[in-house]
Chains A and B, each alone.
Chain A
Amino acid sequence: MQRYSGFGLVKHALSHHENWERQWRNPTPKKQYDVIIVGGGGHGLATAYYLAKEFGVKNVAVIEKGWLGGGNTARNTTIVRSNYLWDESAALYEHAMKLWEGLSQDLNYNVMFSQRGVLNLGHTLQDMRDIQRRVNANRLNGIDGEVLDAKGVQALVPIMDCSKSARYPVMGASWQPRAGVARHDAVAWGYARGADALGVDILQQTEVTGFKIRDGQIYGVHTNRGDIEAKTVGCVAAGNSGVLANMGGFKLPLESHPLQALVSEPIKPILDTVVMSNHVHGYISQSDKGDLVIGAGIDGYNGYGQRGSYPTVEHTLQAIVEMFPIFSRVRMNRQWGGIVDTCPDACPIISKTPVKGLFFNCGWGTGGFKATPGSGHVFAASLAKGEMHPIAEPFSMFRFHSGALIDEHGAAGVAH
């Protein structure tokens, strides 16, 4: 792998940037691998990368039916934070946060991780109580956080309407300074390049059409490019996990919903942090390119269509304009939807399954991007050892039968 550096940039400038090495190969599938990852999004590629780098499993294939990072990795609003309420989820997202902090150096790829802080606004007395509880829980878990009052919020974001005359006045916020945003595509590409350099085969436009299961043990997958064998298969297929689970002969408690986001035309720097509000339900940040990146809640109905309804977009923008009257005349450039696989308790599933050797990492719902490195790391550890990593253990799919749910829904700032 050709390492990227400032010197390299100058060197390649001399040859008009025409001789850059390809970031990853396009190999033909081998007959057999040690581990197969189904799904070439951020989480899948991160899993492959950590498998090869930290756990010495280099005979790995990542099977992707479309192109790399073409699903939710390319469709999210790039927010990264770890201020979750419960110990289990705080451990998982903080694990990811620590990996984010060194990710660009680790991958030798600029993922443009910018720790510009995230505000979760409170608009009611109950919001403020929840915020205090969550910030206290965060601190006990070693996660940075502060409770701000309306003045503190106004000082951080002067353009926000924090007046008492707002329809839902801002009473305060939780503030996580280490949180921020990252460049979503670069995360997928950086992991792909890193994994490829360590010998991982990334097989694009290869669709898994079935699992090869004998006596309750998996030994390979059927694909549109022939059968590929492996004793360990990890599925990281987001919205399509339910379809894969059906192929494995079991059900997952997931429902796929459209989640929409939109970006505005690029404008001059005006917002240097991330603002989220559960109450009016919208969140916003400004990308390095200058466009405002806006998102909100899911469309309530099930859908695989990668698009949603206009009323949802309208409600989102109402919330944004409510908080930022100054944006009322900004024009929106693009609007899109992704398919998110939501769990009843709004926490992911990182788990063994009834089929031996078949593991699932799914159900990230509306907030998977921020967890990408941590999810990949704990899933890789679990695949390598055949036993779940301690951080992943509570996220078993069997919790929906044992009742040990991690009720992150509503309890924490679960707008994403």
Chain B
Amino acid sequence: MFYIYCPYCGEHREEEEFHPKGQAHIERPKDPEACSDEEWGNYLFFRNNPRGVHHEMWVHAVGCRKFFNVTRHTVSYEILETYKMGEQPSITADSQKQPREPAAVSHQEGVRA
């Protein structure tokens, strides 16, 4: 069971209030007509599926109903941070390789599933 911090509500809530919505930070091609089949297929169907740090969207379905982003580890399931749409993650797979500063995850620590 996750205990997720909604950056819009500013509160931790239980997983059942949320739905996962897949990989975050996907940009729709500016001019779809100009895409090759490969580019369009990649945009539609190909997702990062890392064994490690993953940036994903969740929606606070029975709360504020807003989408937001979560950085989560896909093996430990630990939620490393949550942040609003349009913001960039402060924790990435690369930054994870260095030792983490404890302050960076302060009150947003997720409960392990």
Contact = CB atoms under 8 A, between A and B. Distances in A.
Interface of A: 240, 242-243, 251-256, 300-305, 307-311, 344, 400-403
Contact of B56 (A254, A301, A308, A401): A301
B37 A403 contact: yes
Interface of B: 1-2, 15-16, 19-20, 22, 37-38, 40-42, 44-47, 49, 51, 54, 56, 72, 74-77, 113
A401 B41 contact: yes
A307 B75 contact: no
Contact of B76 (A305, A311, A401, A403): A305
Contacts of A243: 51
Given A303-B77, A303-B113, A311-B15, 18 more contacts: A251-B42, A253-B46, A255-B22, A255-B49, A256-B74, A300-B20, A302-B74, A303-B74, A303-B75, A305-B75, A307-B77, A307-B113, A309-B15, A309-B113, A344-B45, A401-B41, A401-B42, A402-B37
A184 B77 CA distance: 28
Contacts of B47: 253, 255
Given A253-B46, A255-B47, A309-B15, A401 B75 contact: no
Contact of B49 (A254, A300, A402): A254
A256 B15 contact: no
A309 B1 contact: yes
Contacts of A344: 44-45
25 contacts: A242-B51, A251-B42, A251-B46, A253-B45, A254-B49, A255-B47, A300-B19, A300-B20, A302-B54, A302-B74, A303-B75, A303-B113, A304-B51, A304-B74, A305-B76, A305-B113, A308-B113, A309-B1, A310-B1, A344-B45, A400-B41, A400-B45, A401-B38, A401-B42, A403-B37
B51 A401 contact: no
Given A251-B46, A402-B37, A403-B37, A302 B56 contact: yes
Nearest to B19: A300
A251 B23 CA distance: 15
